[in-house]
Amino acid sequence: MRPYELSLAAAAEAIRARRLSPVELVDSVLDRIEQVEPQLGAYVTVTAEQARRAAREAEREAALGRDRGPLHGVPAGLKDLIDVAGLPTTASSRVRADHRARADSTVAARLTAAGAVLVGKTHTHEFAYGLTTPQTGNAWDRGRVAGGSSGGSAVAVASGTATFALGTDTGGSIRVPAALNGVVGLKPTYGLVPRHGVTSLSWSLDHVGPITRTVEDAAIVLNALAGHDPRDPASLATPAVDHRPGADTDLTGLRVGVPRTYYFDHVDAQVEAAVRRAIGQLEALGARLVEVDIPMTRYIQATLWGLVAPEASAYHEAGLRTVPELYQADVRVLLEAGELMTAGDYLRAQRSRTLMRSEWGRMLAEVDVIAAPTVPITAVRAGEETVSWPDGTAESVSDALVRLSAPANITGVPALSVPVGHDTAGLPIGMQLLGRPLGERTLLRVGHAYEQTQPARALAPAAAH
Amino acid sequence: MPSADLTPPEAARWAARAGLPLPADRHTAVAATANHLHSVVALLRELDFGDTPPAGAYRAGEEQHDATV
């Protein structure tokens, strides 16, 4: 196995045991970038020289016996909404052509302190306001959408051009591309990972989290990211927790909620079958399946849009008045139309959010996790705009992609997407595990236990299409 | 077209009132998207909120935030 193919945990173990040097690992990933990046377009910027320098430094430290932990010398990609001092944060937008971050975001600083090596900034749907990331091709079929908005991060991890990456998630933007590219994505509890220095789409709903090849890797990255920072007003002051799952895969006594409503409505038959098979695996590991009814489903889309649209337009108020022509057409019209929403619309969404959080709290008192599809479809062809369902209804691709991920943003509960197979076209399918607020350890334990029942996953073919 | 929908000139007037003058070639597209958003969020009017407060995050006594980006 070549170094770029290693999971984070395997790379960390090899580095710690001095079987692999950070320089070898970073060089391997940079070579892989040279090989497949021209076909995939996952990166806005590749910081090869800085990465090689940081890898040499990590190697020197390791030789001196200084071990910064499991991220020591491990190459990472950061979604280009995340500030890294001295680099532009382009948000994949012409609006940010002259931008340069003066300081590190909290998450970038924490990764650096933990020894991670930045290999580049990854593409986002412009300013995270969309679900496809059109600059980037899907890692399994580059003629299909990467998903979004953290499409570059998911494709980089899936194709071996980053050992792990960070994304942001406002309506599903970590989990959607993770599912569509066959990698793991974790949207932590709202407030667990500080957002200071991360470009906002919607302050009420924005989250930062890891995209990785395995559930264990997501836990390792979360350990480095979590923790209070007063510069993010939503940041939670919670005790430090080791999120890494143990070796035990016994789920006896765990109650897994299986939605009777919403999460399996208008879902592709192959996606549903793969997710139900995975839920069956959880049962085989000892979990007890409990049917649950998802509350207030009629108001999920309305609540999401009632929050996102006014907040995004507020964030872009200045840009929309000075350089509107620099935004892409799809984003510009949403920002403009968002200006026409009323305070009443916004407050109803905020009040609906309060009700929804309370109803979800009641539901989550009855189960330990909920298992459901992450997205109702596999990756569509680039340019496709509509999904048709067997009952004759149709839905925009964006509405379909965000439909099953939005509840965790509104309620703030943690949600993990785990690959659970492929459809007959070879496209990945993701299962979503949702938990109680600050229930990441449980989610990661369940996701890891499921992964142990499956053969190790190979990287995406990337350049094969 | 539902009666609550904005016509393109009305959308332009609402935008101007929000401090966003729109060029004429934007009126139709903005009206269409604004009407779509309205149709989505208007569902929330069905809810009986009673005394439910909004889910704001404001707390007195927090740190000062740097207004620069």
C-alpha torsion sign, points A392, A396, A402, A406: negative
- B62 pLDDT band, cuts 50/70/90, is low
> What integer is the mean pLDDT of A168-187?
98
> What integer is the mean pLDDT of A31-57?
98
Mutate to test the interface with A, among B33, B37, B41, B43 (most CBs of A within 10 A): B41
Measured between CA atoms, the residue of chain A closest to residue B45 is: A348
Q: What is the pLDDT of residue B69?
A: 40
Q: What is the DSSP string of A278-336?
A: HHHHHHHTTPEEEEE--TTGGGHHHHHHHHHHHHHHHHTHHHHHH-GGGS-HHHHHHHH
Q: How confident is the prediction for chain A on average, in pLDDT?
A: 97
Radius of gyration of chain B (CA): 18
Q: What is the pLDDT of residue A463?
A: 54
Give the residue from B41, B12, B56, B62 showing the smallest Cα distance to A350.
B56
Q: What is the pLDDT of residue B1?
A: 56
Could you give the C-alpha distances from A84 to A94, A101, A111, A116, A376, in angstroms and in order?
18, 6, 11, 13, 34
Catalytic residues of A: 79, 149, 173
A357–B55 CB contact, under 8 Å = yes
A333–B56 CB contact, under 8 Å = no
Neighbouring residues of A283: CB distance < 8 A, sequence distance ≥ 6:
A256, A289
CA distance A437 to chain B (A): 16
Q: What is the pLDDT of residue A191?
A: 97
pLDDT at A462 over 80: no
How far is residue A288's CA from residue A276's CA, in Å, rounded to a whole number?
14
A348–B6 CB contact, under 8 Å = no
> How many CB atoms within 10 Å of residue A142?
21
pLDDT tens digit sequence for A277-321: 999 999 999 999 999 999 999 999 999 999 999 999 999 999 999
pLDDT at B65 over 60: no
Q: What is the DSSP string of A173-226?
A: TTHHHHHHHT-EEEE--TTTS--TTB--S-TTT-EEEEEESSHHHHHHHHHHH-
Give contacts of A228 with chain B, Cβ < 8 Å: none
| A161, amino acid identity | T
Task: Give the CA-trace dihedral at A269, A270, A275, A281, to 10 degrees.
Answer: 120
How far is residue A150's CA from residue A182's CA, in Å, rounded to a whole number?
14
A333–B30 CB contact, under 8 Å = yes
Could you give the C-alpha distances from A61 to A6, A65, A106, B51, in angstroms and in order?
22, 6, 23, 58
pLDDT at A222 over 50: yes
Give contacts of B33 with chain A, Cβ < 8 Å: 333-334, 336-337
pLDDT at A174 over 50: yes
Considering only CB atoms, A299 lies closest to which of B26, B29, B43, namely B43
How far is residue B8's CA from residue A461's CA, in Å, rounded to a whole number?
48
> What integer is the mean pLDDT of A413-417?
98
User: Which tokens sit at A283?
Assistant: 């049962």
> How many CB atoms within 10 Å of residue A119?
31
Helix axes A329-338, A300-315, angle to 10 degrees: 100
Q: What is the pLDDT of residue B68?
A: 47
| CB contact at 8 A, A301 and A403 | yes
Q: How confident is the prediction for chain B on average, in pLDDT?
A: 88
pLDDT tens digit sequence for A252-288: 999 999 999 999 999 999 999 999 999 999 999 999 9
CA distance B1 to chain A (A): 18
How far is residue A345's CA from residue B38's CA, in Å, rounded to a whole number?
8
| CB contact at 8 A, A37 and A150 | no
Considering only CB atoms, A306 lies closest to which of B22, B33, B44, namely B44
How far is residue A210's CA from residue A391's CA, in Å, rounded to a whole number?
37
Provide the residue count of chain B: 69
pLDDT tens digit sequence for A186-221: 999 999 999 999 999 999 999 999 999 999 999 999
pLDDT tens digit sequence for A94-105: 999 999 999 999
| Domain extents in chain B | 8-46
How far is residue A268's CA from residue A141's CA, in Å, rounded to a whole number?
19
Give contacts of A303 with chain B, Cβ < 8 Å: 44
User: Which tokens sit at A79?
Assistant: 């979604």
Q: What is the pLDDT of residue B57?
A: 60
pLDDT at A251 over 90: yes
Q: How many CA atoms lie within 13 A of A40 on its CB side?
A: 34
Considering only CB atoms, A337 lies closest to which of B34, B45, B53, namely B34
Give the residue from A412, A234, A150, A202 showing the smallest Cα distance to A306.
A202
Neighbouring residues of B49: CB distance < 8 A, sequence distance ≥ 6:
A348, A351, A352, A355
Measured between CA atoms, the residue of chain B closest to residue A305 is: B41
Strand partners, A430: A419
pTM score of the predicted model? 0.97
Superfamily of domain A3-299+342-464: Amidase signature (AS) domain (3.90.1300.10)
Give the DSSP H/E element, type plus range, for residue A32: helix A22-40
B37–A309 CB contact, under 8 Å = yes
Neighbouring residues of A216: CB distance < 8 A, sequence distance ≥ 6:
A7, A8, A9, A244, A245, A444, A448, A451
- B60 pLDDT band, cuts 50/70/90, is confident
pLDDT at A349 over 50: yes
Q: What is the pLDDT of residue A465?
A: 46
Cβ contacts below 8 Å, chain A against chain B, sum to 100
> What integer is the mean pLDDT of A415-440?
98
